[in-house]
Structure 1
Amino acid sequence: MRLKVLGCSGGIGGVQRTTSFLLGRHTLIDAGTGVGELSVAEMAQIDQVFLTHSHLDHIALLPLLIDTVGAMRSQPLTVYASAATLDALGKHIFNWQIWPDFRQIPSAAQPFMRFCALEVGESLTLPDKLTVTALPALHTVPAQGYQLDSGQGSLVFTGDTTVNDSLWPILNQMDALRGLIIETAFCNRERELAQASRHLCPAMLAVELAKLKRPTEVYITHLKPGEIELTMQEISEDAAAFHPKMLKNGQILEF
C-alpha cells in the first residue's frame, strides 16, 4: 500500500500545503490545501475521506473537492470522522451559509456526500483490503489519529495532538509498525504556545517518543513554514535517538 503526501505543512506559502495524504487511489486522510495537488481526474476517484478533526488546515479543500467532482461520481463521497467532528462540519461549513450542504444535493436520496461516524477504537476495512482504525488524540477540539493496516504492515498518523499517554500502549502492541507520522508544530521557545494549543514542540516530542517501544521510522509533520529549519534542528538534538525525518510534499511511503 502507498501513502502519498499531498500536504504536510502547518501553514501555507510558496510550495507549502496543509495536511492531506492520498492513500492508494481512492482514499484521503485529511483534506487540507494539499488536495489541490490532485488533478480533477484523480479527485473524482476519491471514494472516502478520513478526517482527524475539524480545524481548517485539515478540512479546507473538502468543500471544493465535493463541489468539483460530485456530479462526476455515481456514488456519494463518504466522509469518516468522529461524530463531534461531523457535527462541527454540518453546523459551520455545510450549512448553506459558508457552503451548500452536499448531503442534500442534488437530493437527500442521492447526495454527493454522506457522513459516517468512526470513533476511537473502531475500524473499517476498505475494498482494497486496507483497514483503518481510529486512534486517540488530544487537541483543542475532538480529534483522533489513524492506524493504516495493509495486512503486511501498519502506518500510524497521530493527527494534531499533544502529550497523549493513551496512544503509546496501542502502538507498542503493533507487530508490524512500519512508520509513525507525528506532528511538531512549534519550536522549543514556543513551548507554552504548544501546550496551550495542544500541539508538540521538540522537547515534548522527545518525551513522547521515549514511550515508543517498537523500532520504526519516525516522520515529522505540521512544521510551521517560518520555523522549519529551527524546529528540525531542535528535533535532531532533542530526539536524536529516534532519527526523525521531516515529511515532504510528494513523498511516498509504502507499508
Structure 2
Amino acid sequence: MRVEILGCSGGIGGNGMRTTSLLVDGDILIDAGTGVGDLSLERLAAIDHVFITHAHLDHIACLPLMVDSVGEMRERPITMHATAETLEIIRKHIFNWQIWPDFSVIPTPENPFLRFATIEVGRPVVIGERSITPLPATHTVPAVGFHLRNEAAGSSLAFSGDTSICDPLWDAVNAIDGLRYLIIEAAFADRERDLALLSKHLCPSLLLDELQKLQLRPEVLVTHAKPTQQAQIAHEIEAGASVHRPRMLAAGTILEF
C-alpha cells in the first residue's frame, strides 16, 4: 500500500500547511482536509472511497468541493465511509441544501454523485487486498482513527485521527500484527496543555505519556500541529522522547508498507 500525505497540519498558511488528508493507492482518501485541493481533476476523479475520522472542518473541508468538481466525470458515486454519528452530522450540517447541495440525491437519487456507508469501530472494510478498520478515539465529537492493512504483505499503518487520552486506542493498536507506522496527533505545545485537555487533543507531554502504552515499535509520525507552534512541538517531543523517537510528519511524505 502507498500512502501519500496530502496534508497533516493543524491549520493553513502557505509553506505546505494543508489540513489532514491521506491518499491511499490513488483511490482512497483518509479524511478530506485542504490538502485534497492540490490534486488535479484527474486524480480527484480517481478517488472511489473517502473515510472520515470525524466531522470537524479541517478534516472534511474539501469533500463537498471534490464531489461537486468531479461527480460528472465518474461512472459511479464516491462512497463516503463514516460512523453513524458522523454521517448524521455531515448530512445535517453540510449536504443539506443550505451549506451545500445534497449530492446523495443529485443528479438523481438512482445515480447520485455521492453515497454514504456506515462504519463501526473494530469492523474492517475490505477493498481488494486492503482492509480499513476504524479504531477508538476520544475527541469533542464522535471520532475514530483507522488501521490500514495490506493483506497480501501482512503489514499495517495506524492513524489516530484527532484524539486525547484513549486507552482503548492502545489496546487496539497493540493488537495489530505487522505495524510499520503509527501516525498520531500533537496539536498544541506544552504551554497549551490545559487547552489540549479541554479540546481533547494531545500536546508533547501528553503524547509521550500515551506512547508509554505502545508495546510495539513502529515508526511514530506526529501530525496536526498548529502552524504557529510546530517548531516548539517538535522541540518538546525530541527533548522528552525515550523508547519511541517520534518525528514530525510533512506533507508530501510517501509511506509504503
Q: Offset of 1:50 from its aligned partner?
A: 0.2
1:107 aligns with 2:127: no
Which residue of structure 2 aligns with residue 65 of structure 1?
Answer: 66
Equivalent residue for 2:223, pick from 221, 224, 227: 221
Equivalent residue for 1:157, pick from 156, 159, 184: 159
Q: Offset of 1:169 from its aligned partner?
A: 1.7
Amino acid at match of 1:249: A
Q: Where in structure 2 are there 5+ consecutive unaligned residues? A: none
Aligned residue for 1:18, secondary structure, equals coil
Which residue of structure 2 aligns with residue 48 of structure 1?
Answer: 49
- Separation in 2 of the partners of 1:48 and 1:173? 26
Q: Offset of 1:170 from its aligned partner?
A: 1.6
Which residue of structure 2 aligns with residue 9 of structure 1?
Answer: 9
Q: Where in structure 1 are there 5+ consecutive unaligned residues? A: none
Aligned residue for 1:195, secondary structure, equals helix
Instruction: Indicate the RMSD between aligned Cα atoms, in angstroms.
Output: 0.7
1:94-138, Cα deviation, whole Å (9 max, x unpaired): 0000000000100111100000010111111102x1000000000
- Separation in 1 of the partners of 2:241 and 2:202? 13
Which residue of structure 1 aligns with residue 136 of structure 2?
Answer: 136
Aligned residue pairs: how many?
A: 254
Amino acid at match of 2:30: I
Q: Offset of 1:145 from its aligned partner?
A: 0.3
Which residue of structure 1 aligns with residue 88 of structure 2?
Answer: 87
Which residue of structure 2 aligns with residue 20 of structure 1?
Answer: 21
Aligned residue for 1:107, secondary structure, equals coil
Amino acid at match of 1:219: L
1:186 aligns with 2:184: no
Which residue of structure 1 aligns with residue 172 of structure 2?
Answer: 170
- Separation in 1 of the partners of 2:213 and 2:93? 37
> Contact (CA 8 Å) 1:157, 1:182: kept in 2 or not?
yes
Amino acid at match of 1:48: H
Q: TM-score, normalised by structure 1?
A: 0.98
Amino acid at match of 1:161: T
Q: Offset of 1:240 from its aligned partner?
A: 3.7
- Separation in 2 of the partners of 1:189 and 1:65? 37
- Separation in 1 of the partners of 2:22 and 2:61? 14
Amino acid at match of 2:191: R
Q: TM-score, normalised by structure 2?
A: 0.98
Aligned residue for 2:95, secondary structure, equals coil
Aligned residue for 2:22, secondary structure, equals strand
- Separation in 2 of the partners of 1:239 and 1:146? 24
Amino acid at match of 1:221: T
Q: Which portions of structure 1, spanning 4 or more consecutive aligned residues, are displaced by more than 3 angstroms?
A: none
- Separation in 1 of the partners of 2:234 and 2:170? 22
Amino acid at match of 1:29: I
Amino acid at match of 2:163: T
- Separation in 2 of the partners of 1:169 and 1:143? 17
- Separation in 1 of the partners of 2:60 and 2:176? 29
Q: Offset of 1:245 from its aligned partner?
A: 1.0
Q: Calculate percent identity across the aligned residue pairs.
A: 54
Amino acid at match of 1:130: R
Q: Offset of 1:42 from its aligned partner?
A: 0.2
Aligned residue for 1:166, secondary structure, equals helix
> Contact (CA 8 Å) 1:205, 1:239: kept in 2 or not?
no
